[in-house]
Structure 1
Amino acid sequence: MANERKTETFVRDHFRPSTGLITLEEQKSDIPRIEKLLKTASKRGTGIGRPEFIITYNENSDFLTVVECKADVSKHESKTKDRFSEFAVDGVLLYSSYLSKEFDVLAIAVSGEQERQAKVSHFLQLKNERNAVPIFGEHLLSTNDYLQGYLKSPEKLRQDYNSLLDFSKKLNETLHGHKILESQRSLLISCILIALEHSPFKVAYKQYTDPAELSNYLVNTVVDSLKKAKVQTATLKNLDIQFGFIRTDTSLSTKLDVLKNLITDIDDNINGFMKNHRYYDVLGQLYVEFLRYANSDKGLGIVLTPPHITELFSDLAQVNKDSIVYDNCTGTGGYLISAMSKMVKDAKGDQAAIESIKTSQLVGVEYQSHIFALACSNMYIHQDGKTNILNGDCFDRGVMAAIQDRKPTTGFLNPPYKADRKKDIEELRFVLNNLECLAPRGTCIAIVPMQSALAQKGRIY
């Protein structure tokens, strides 16, 4: 006769070595919130729900794992998923539906008496979402793999990104209330994010009581950090100028706790997102949100490229650890960040290759000084210690010569569209400019308006 205790034993033994990372409980929990949620979650329809195992993470209180076991593999999952007391998947999804009212839940169903022959299913159900989605595979993983897989899952990215957008709207209203210009808001955030990379600043800023001293300390920390990262002198001067408003802004430099509270909120909400989701153009997305809030993005001819497009370009071009990527309309650096992610992944942990990628294989040109500052900040935040982004005109012969010396193999661009048909530069000229800078047999991928792609008359290049 099948013995469920055998199933529980190998599951318990699997998770027990991770007790420093997790708390493993059986049948019930010492956490009142969990017990309250399970109070009416019985598999038989009435009474308290008692899953085999409840696993909470000591450093992530919003995430938990619930496990349901069955000895017989034929009792793993029913076709209707509503036979809660008979089947492992059915039962664990019932528990998950209750627990996900307040937690992000990883639901694990295990059937079989031996781990090597067991059947395992995983489902992720995020807080307040109706559906649990399949995740991972058909074998038990380590608790750290579960945690990292959850944090980096598309579902968690979507949830965190939506939270980030909600925060950006509130932040926008706060900055608007302090009369900080829309064009300066992303610069302020980028300055704060760079400073928060500096451990002494992260501790010391909370002790400041004079707003003027804190605003100076913030900008000085950033300039010193970039100088130590061997950022070029001309770039440093530009960044110092762009961040200079922080030293003199009335709200930031004279009003008690305004800047300090902003730093704390940005650390909790934006820095937290970036730690979990690396190589994501957060500054670019916030910049778009801030301009949209002011209804001024299209008036400036600015349409920053969304992440799913920048990632698609890297896939289409098949960038790898040996690629040298160039964007002559850099914006906030979205294409370069997506390329960096793919190139670093291809390096497979080779630290020398990763260092080369970040210091010499990502090249860009940006014309507008304040957006150039955002691009440099973005690359620094993503651990590109020596940015190769130039502030200048991509059509300037001196700039083109400097780029050609880098011998880029891959070109990406989303050129500014023509807001003024008579005065603005044709989109295809930017494409040709990019091509002219690439090494022989290089690959260029660009976004252009349909009217440019399908034009039957006009200037011949």
Structure 2
Amino acid sequence: MEETGISETVTENIFRKQYGAGKFIEKSAIPKHYGFQSKKGTNNKGYPDFFKDLDDYAIIVEAKAIKHSEAETEVQFYMLNNQIDKDLIGIAISGQDISQIKVTYFYKLKGSSEILPFKVKDSLIPLNSLHKKFLKHKNGEFISNEELTTILKNLNETFHADNKIRDTDRSLFFSGLMIALTNNNFRNIYQNITIPSKEEIASVKVAILEAHNLNKAIVEAITKQLESKINNLSKEYSWADKFSFIKNVDFPLVKYKEIIKIIEEKIYTPYMLDEKQDILGKAYKIFLSRAGSAENKNIILTPDHIKGLMIKLARLNVSDVVLDTCTGSGGFLMEAMEKMLNLANDNDSIIANIKEKQLIGFEVDSVLFALACSNMFLHGDGRTNLLYRSSLLKNDTENIINSTDNDLLMYIRSLKPTKCIINPPYENKNPILFTKQALDYLEPNGKLIIIMPTPTLVKHQKNGGLTHDILKMAKLDFVIKMPQNIFTEQKRTVNTSIFGFTKTSHDKNDDVLFYNLKDDGLISIQHKGRLDKNNRWNDIENEIIDCLNNSKEIKNICEKRKIYKNDVLIASGVQNAKNSHYELVKFSDLFNFEKGSLASDDSEDGKYHFITASTEWKTHSNFTHDCEAIIYATHAAGSLGRTHYINGKFVASNLCLILTPKNVDNYPINLEFYNIYLSTIREKIVSDLADGTSKLTIGKDVLADYLIEYIPKVEQDAYAENYITNYKKLIQELQETEKKMQTKINEILSKL
């Protein structure tokens, strides 16, 4: 039974509109002689939603409103349970909008019971294209994601051996070979290139490599393919210079040709014939797996399934102009282009316009810019408006003298960008700066979809902070909290969320939908990374989209919140479940903050408590404080937000803050009560404030400004008397009982 507000009929109509009326036979008209069986397991007939019988194969289609796993299960059931004696293609479709549909393709060959997936993602492709892709899959002319990953890893080991290719050059080297292979002349001659002749060797006075001629041919092919289409607002960029390191690649010629042949046959040919993807972004992540330089650690690439979700959240149409102000390897722009080209329905003029005028990208890293341009070139182009420069205006790191900030701003605005999808650098103030700059570029009512550290808006919500400026420009529509493990393949633990903005000012009464994606369904598999092994992501993604599109609330998953209370901005949202009549005050209104003094491993035998972020207390021979306090963990990633109440002599770890009462006249507090209170809201505080790109911490300043409820002292004391006092008595009784048990067991053992 479908949920209120969504309809399977909507999904079916999307399919009908895409392929035209009468192209497929509908459920009620499918002839009985095809022998489809009921999915209920009875002897009755059953029928898929759509069916098409062609000369060499038949197509079976199942549609669901949002439960994509059911569409997949049912289409595979009908592929197996019928009397059709030919190859079969299965299509599972779900979703309520053409820009956000999920589509999975399967095929089963005649005489086989094995159902295999197509390498096509979330698009209803024309039947002639489907025919070509089916033949490629049937004849084995494709490569799976798993095979691609294995080949790239093997190439990485080859490049790494004897340090033949530096870690920072490997992704460029690979992309260069892919680009060179697009040159028909190079592809036809590279196997016949020989070592330098005696005459060539005699004509130079330096040592010459065996691969000299092949290296020269590669660089020439790359330059020829990429030489055009550098935007005139870009900084100067030379393809020959960027790939000049290839001239010094020192593989034996036979092995070198074998490497290129592997790339041509296993990657390039399937890539050009099959669905395009961010193959260079995938290679970049794999090739950096051996890299250890600091500069590489500042780049965090968006996982593919999150990239796909963000594209869907933008709800693209064929007239959109898409902007990415920090393009990276070009993944967002490639997916956006693929989505819009699919919506163009083979209209050549629309397709040309999309590639020439509707894709805008900025990238300041020279390697990533080369990868983005290479990716777009391999993808059918779309490089016209890729700019090698920072998208941030008033950027002191660039000294361009013939193109002002205003020139750049006016140029981008002249292109009228309507959607911006970005994953900005996370260091320093970059996330908030990129948010504001993206909104500056966008057209009125344009959409910004950005993944960035969860605390970004909270960190800048003080009066005069950039969060206020942003909310004057744009309405915050939603916040989707990401699992902290989505970047583990890149060896990162980052607290991130996807934020959705519309460029129209945020009213203080506007609701924001907060969605907590605790689990994305992917699991980590050794040597393979995070995979959707249990096929959960499709349904999870559809649920997210349904909640956002229809403002649905699901207990403990998503809820609508205001981000203003009594005219005070609370960017993390005011939770509805809270007792809203209590006064909201800053942490620093209630507590003095003092950092602990000892490293956590500096414990020693002694009679004083040494309190760390751990649950267990240690000891020390000295103490620094003799008072009542709460010890609050702020720099121990696995223990963030853990609290300890202490009354007496102690010393605290330097990973913690010591909280003591500050304003006892205006805000008297019972520290035992607030220890319980802070422990209760620990998950929310950590979710809202934890920051960092390698190790999560809670900054002292953001914690000091964080708003919590002040509970009247009489209520604090009543709670402490009714519950904490009794709890301590029970703990004491438990400890005494444990001692008695130990004494008794020792007595028994002594008699043996």
Q: Where does residue 190 of structure 2 map in the other structure?
A: 205
Q: Does 1:450 align with 2:454?
A: yes
TM-superposed CA distance for 1:133, in Å, is 6.5
Pick from 187, 190, 201: which aligns with 2:172? 187
Alpha carbons of structure 1 residues 386 and 454: separation in structure 2 relative to 1, 3 Å: closer
Equivalent of 2:288 in 288, 291, 303: 291
In the superposition, relative to structure 1, how do residues 152 and 349 fare at CA in structure 2: closer, same or farther (>3 Å)?
Answer: farther
Does 2:426 correspond to 1:428? no
| Distance of aligned partners of 1:208 and 1:411 in 2 relative to their CA distance in 1, 3 Å threshold | same
> What is aligned with 1:405?
414
Question: 2:21 is matched with which residue?
Answer: none
3-state SS of 2:144 partner? helix
- CA apart distance, 1:369: 0.8
- More helix by percentage: 1
Q: Tell me, yes or no, if the aligned pair for 2:361 and 2:385 is still in contact at 8 Å.
A: yes
Task: Tell me, in whole angstroms, the C-alpha distance in 2 between the residues paired with 1:267 and 1:343.
Answer: 28
Contact 2:392 2:437 (C-alpha < 8 Å) held by counterparts: yes
Contact 1:196 1:267 in 2 (8 A): yes
TM value normalised by structure 2 = 0.41
Structure 1 position 144, deviation (Å) = 8.4
Distance 1:217 1:366, change over 3 A: same
Contact 1:311 1:339 in 2 (8 A): no
**CA offsets 1:179-225 (integer angstroms, 9 cap, x no match):** 21111111111111111112221111111012211111111112112
Mapped pair 1:320 → 2:317: yes
> What's the TM-score once normalised by structure 1's chain length?
0.65
2:228 aligned with 1:224: no
Change in Cα spacing, 1:350 to 1:183, as seen in structure 2 (3 Å) is: same
Q: Which secondary structure state, in structure 2, belongs to the residue aligned with residue 331 of structure 1?
A: coil
Residue identity matched to 2:416: K
Cα separation, 1, equivalents of 2:329 and 2:89: 41
Alpha-carbon distance between aligned partners in 2 of 1:439 and 1:246, rounded to the nearest angstrom:
43
Shift of residue 248, structure 1, vs aligned partner: 2.3
Partner of 2:299: helix, strand, or coil?
coil
The reply to whether residue 243 of structure 1 matches residue 243 of structure 2 is yes
Partner of 1:392: 389
- Once the two structures are TM-superposed, the CA of residue 387 in structure 1 deviates from its matched residue by 3.2
Supply the AA of the counterpart residue of 2:222: V
If asked which structure has higher relative contact order (CA below 8 Å, sep 6+), I would say 1
For 1:426 and 1:75, the matched residues in 2 are separated by: 58
Structure-2 change in CA distance of 1:400 and 1:298 (3 Å): same
- CA spacing shift, 1:236–1:164, aligned 2, 3 Å: farther
**Which structure 1 residue ranges, 5 or more long, are not aligned?**
1-69, 82-105, 137-141, 419-423
- The aligned residue for residue 279 of structure 1 is 276
CA distance, structure 1, for counterparts of residue 333 and residue 435 of structure 2: 17
Q: Are the counterparts in 2 of residues 332 and 378 from structure 1 also a CA contact under 8 Å?
A: yes
Contact 1:325–1:339 under 8 Å retained in 2: yes
Greater shift, 318-327 or 266-275, is seen at: 266-275
Tell me the equivalent position of 2:362: 365
User: Residues of 1 paired with 2:36 and 2:247: CA distance?
Assistant: 68
CA distance in 2, matches of 1:299, 1:247: 24
C-alpha displacement of 1:124: 4.4
Distance 1:456 1:441, change over 3 A: closer
The yes-or-no answer on 1:305 pairing with 2:302 is yes
Q: Is the 8 A contact 1:279 1:382 kept in 2?
A: yes
Letter in 1 for 2:454: M
Match of 2:83 in 1: 111
Which one-letter code corresponds to 1:280 in the other structure? Answer: Q
String of CA shifts for 1:395-450, please: whole Å, max 9, x gaps. Answer: 132543432232211111101111xxxxx333111111111111222111100111
Query: Partner of 1:27 in structure 2?
Result: none
Q: Which residue of 2 is the match for residue 260 of structure 1?
A: 257
Pick aligned residue for 1:347 from 341, 344, 349: 344
Q: Identify if the C-alpha distance between structure 1 residues 457 and 314 changes in structure 2 by more than 3 Å, giving closer, same or farther.
A: closer
**Distance apart, 1:342 and its partner CA:** 0.7
Letter in 1 for 2:412: I
Tell me the distance in 2 between the aligned counterparts of 1:121 and 1:190.
34
Query: What is the distance in 1 between the residues matched to 2:338 and 2:184?
Result: 25
Matched to 2:465, the amino acid is I
- Give deviations 1:265-297, integer Å, cap 9, x for gaps: 111222134234433101001101111233558
Q: Choose the corresponding residue for 2:153, options 169, 176, 186.
A: 169
Letter in 2 for 1:183: T
Partner of 1:56: none
Counterpart amino acid of 1:438?
A: L
- The CA deviation at 1:76 is 9.0
Q: Deviations 1:213-269 (Å, cap 9, x if unpaired)?
A: 111111111211223x544586784322211100123x15xx323432221111122
- Residues 427 and 209 (structure 1), Cα distance of their counterparts in 2 relative to 1, 3 Å cut: same
Q: Distance in 1 between matches of 2:344 and 2:224?
A: 30
Moved more, 451-460 or 271-280: 451-460
* 1:343 CA drift (Å): 0.7
**Aligned mates of 2:367, 2:411 — CA distance in 1:** 22
Query: Does the alignment pair 1:417 with 2:402?
Result: no
Alignment partner, residue 465 of structure 2: 460
Aligned mates of 2:338, 2:137 — CA distance in 1: 14
Distance 2:190 2:181 in 1: 10
Q: Distance in 1 between matches of 2:172 and 2:36?
A: 59
Give the match's secondary structure for 1:257. helix
Identity percentage of aligned residues: 30
Report SS of the residue matched to 1:263. Answer: helix
Matched AA of 1:224: K
Work out whether residues 332 and 375 of structure 1, in 8 Å CA contact, stay in contact via their aligned partners in 2: yes
- How much has 1:107 moved relative to structure 2? 7.1
- Work out whether residues 326 and 408 of structure 1, in 8 Å CA contact, stay in contact via their aligned partners in 2: yes
Cα 1:414–1:243, aligned 2, differ >3 Å: closer, same or farther? same
Q: Partners of 1:288 and 1:121 in 2: how far apart?
A: 34
Higher mean alpha-carbon deviation, 338-347 vs 376-385, is at 376-385
CA deviation after TM superposition for structure 1 residue 145, in Å: 4.6
Higher-Rg structure is 2
Aligned residues: 345
State the SS of the aligned residue for 1:111. coil
Q: Give me the whole-angstrom Cα distance separating, in 1, the residues matched to 2:135 and 2:293.
A: 37
Q: Distance between the aligned counterparts of 1:230 and 1:400, measured in 2?
A: 20
Structure 2: gaps (5+ residues)? 1-31, 44-77, 91-105, 121-126, 196-210, 394-404, 467-752
**What is the CA–CA distance in structure 1 between the aligned matches of 2:422 and 2:225, rounded to whole Å?**
29
- 1:457 Cα deviation after fit: 4.7
